[in-house]
Structure 1
Amino acid sequence: MNNSFLIAAGAALALGGCVGNQNGSTTETATVTPELTQVWKTDTVFTGSESTLYDPAADIIYVSNGNTKAGDKDNDGFISAINTDGTIRDLKWVEGNLHAPKGMAILGEKLYVTDIDEVKIIDIASATIEKTIPVEGAVFLNDAATDGQQVYFSDSRTGNIYALATDGGYSVVSSDNKGVNGLECYDGHLYSLDGEGLKKFSKDGEYTQEVINAEVTGGDGLVILNDSTFVASRWHGEIFFIRGSETTVLVDTQPEKSNTADIGFVPSQKLVIVPTFLKNEVAAYQLAY
């Protein structure tokens, strides 16, 4: 699960519509068949690469590592920083006091990272963990996302979704979300991926949920292109494109036993960034839609 790097530009072309010609009549624009084309892949330099997150301010991609034993407090976790062309900027940008870091979200100048039963807050400028927030009752914290006001994070084992304020206070905003993992925010709404599919939550503070896609169940990473267009990954090795009521499989790497964990997105290049988990790589795919 990942931060709100959302794009609307070009959505009208992608979704189809009418454009005027010089005679004043209209013509239908064609809907592009969604497609992912791999443009680069790193060497196997990571260790259980679980989540990727693009930081537009720094123009780099963060990668959370140390998930070969994803529930163990073994202090082998670290966060990498890589460039958008796949070259490594700093393999162990942040390490120490990290066990199995997973989801990440950027709020202000801080990187929020889930780590089993804690949330670590990293000061981006100094690349240091400045605060650790233990989460009472947490078992397997997973993805994280932000709406620009607070950070949301999920617990896949308990089914809880939490909201974390910048002062460190947190609360459960939704429960009984079986296997909840991927989170993202768009236009004030929280979205999640769990055992029932892709859910959208109301933004009235009540967090009433609605299943908007029941095909992609057990999803891991989520990218929101607009309020009806999504890219979602499933850990086993599948990436899906969801547009309205249509769901398309874009990538299936299950035969290669290459995972597609918590994907990220570089909007300016339309790059879907894929951590391959047990393959210890990160791959980038160009998205056409």
Structure 2
Amino acid sequence: MNTNLKLALFGISSTLLFAQCSPKKTEETTEAITVEEVKTPTLTKIWETDTTLTTNESVLYDAASGKLYVSNIEGDPRGKDGKGSISIIDKDGNVVNQNWITGLNAPKGMGITNGNFYVTDIDQLVEVNLESGAISNKYPIEGAGFLNDLATYDGKVYFTDMNTGKVHMLDGGNITTITEGHESINGIAIAENGDLYMLDKAGLKMLNTDGTSKILNDKVTGGDGLVILGDGNYVASRWAGEIYFVNSDGVETLLLDTKDAESNTADIGFIPGDNIVLVPTFFKNKVVAYKLDY
């Protein structure tokens, strides 16, 4: 073969080989990788009431009227002394009616349904006409010693007995026990679909249709107030001065700790839409409102 031809072919081969071995310059498209930011839920104080709500244990928000009802024990939580009362405050923390209902003993959990206001009072469920504020009925609960939290759903009234570990239900004037065996049960809440959730010594639980229960979180034990936020998220309080956020994975985050200030966090209430957590402070005699961000 002609020497010049050999050199030419060798040059072409070398060029092709170099091109194959060299990095290819291609147009690269860089896709943005979005990492979802995990937001830590927080509580920010926005107002507090005057200290006239003596030994306030529970707060209830009524969406129909915009009123906030506060149960005041005003004495021994087990004492039948007639000192207990219900107050009404507005959404800015102003006391509208200090003595809406008086003559109770140690009122705790509250709820509204069928034009009536209901409150637990040691060993009886008290029914009040919502419009007049007059007591219309009292339902004594046999064997009860410490009726506590209360929730309403579909015209029915559900309430807990901390002493006996039971959940009772008022339906059409009749009282029945729907579940028992929940040691030191306190907080109770019912979801929009009717599922019942509760707080007891074991933690945050959901009641199954067969009467058994499923533990969703076993760290927030001995809880007091319970709020269902939706999408598997909850807010739960402990009376001693702790409020927790529990997410859909059952993981808890401490939102508030007021133990050092000796300010209790009893049966909390909630204003949906505004995402405001309402905290009865018990011995501090005031309700404190916090904005929840999550």
TM-score w.r.t. length of structure 1 = 0.87
The answer for unaligned runs of 5 or more in structure 2 is 1-31
Aligned partner of 2:100 in structure 1 is 93
Aligned partner of 1:188 in structure 2 is 194
Aligned AA (1:114): T
SS in structure 1 opposite 2:260? helix
| d(CA) in 1 for partners of 2:211, 2:277 | 28
| d(CA) in 2 for partners of 1:68, 1:41 | 22
> Once the two structures are superposed, what CA deviation does each residue of 1:4-39 show, in whole Å capped at 9, x if it has no partner?
xxxxxxxxxxxxxxxxxxxxx996653421000000
Q: How does 1:2-151 map to 2 (within 5 A)?
A: 30-96=37-103, 98-151=104-157
Aligned partner of 1:256 in structure 2 is 261
Higher relative contact order (CA 8 A, sep 6+): 1
Is the counterpart of residue 216 in structure 1 residue 220 in structure 2? Answer: yes
Aligned partner of 1:281 in structure 2 is 286
Task: Assess, with a 3 A threshold, how the Cα gap between structure 1 residues 29 and 179 changes in structure 2: closer, same or farther.
Answer: same
Deviation at 1:128, TM superposition (A): 1.3
SS in structure 1 opposite 2:144? coil
TM-score w.r.t. length of structure 2 = 0.86
Q: Which moved more, 1:76-85 or 1:59-68?
A: 59-68
Aligned partner of 1:201 in structure 2 is 207
Aligned pairs, how many? 261
Q: Do the aligned partners of 1:121 and 1:131 also contact (CA within 8 Å) in 2?
A: yes
Aligned AA (2:102): E
| d(CA) in 2 for partners of 1:246, 1:66 | 33
The answer for unaligned runs of 5 or more in structure 1 is 1-24
SS in structure 1 opposite 2:282? coil
| d(CA) in 2 for partners of 1:128, 1:46 | 20
Is the counterpart of residue 235 in structure 1 residue 242 in structure 2? Answer: no
| d(CA) in 2 for partners of 1:282, 1:139 | 26
Between Structure 1 and Structure 2, whose CA radius of gyration is higher?
A: 2
Aligned partner of 2:25 in structure 1 is none
Deviation at 1:110, TM superposition (A): 1.0
Q: Do the aligned partners of 2:170 and 2:176 also contact (CA within 8 Å) in 1?
A: yes
Deviation at 1:68, TM superposition (A): 3.2
SS in structure 2 opposite 1:285? strand
- From 184, 204, 212, give the equivalent of 1:179: 184
| d(CA) in 2 for partners of 1:201, 1:211 | 9
| d(CA) in 2 for partners of 1:235, 1:139 | 19
Deviation at 1:147, TM superposition (A): 2.0
Deviation at 1:259, TM superposition (A): 0.3
Q: Do the aligned partners of 2:56 and 2:73 also contact (CA within 8 Å) in 1?
A: yes
Deviation at 1:95, TM superposition (A): 1.1
| d(CA) in 2 for partners of 1:31, 1:68 | 44
The share of aligned pairs that are identical, in percent, is 46
SS in structure 1 opposite 2:107? coil
Q: Do the aligned partners of 2:217 and 2:251 also contact (CA within 8 Å) in 1?
A: no
Aligned partner of 1:170 in structure 2 is 175
| d(CA) in 2 for partners of 1:171, 1:221 | 23
Aligned partner of 2:230 in structure 1 is 226
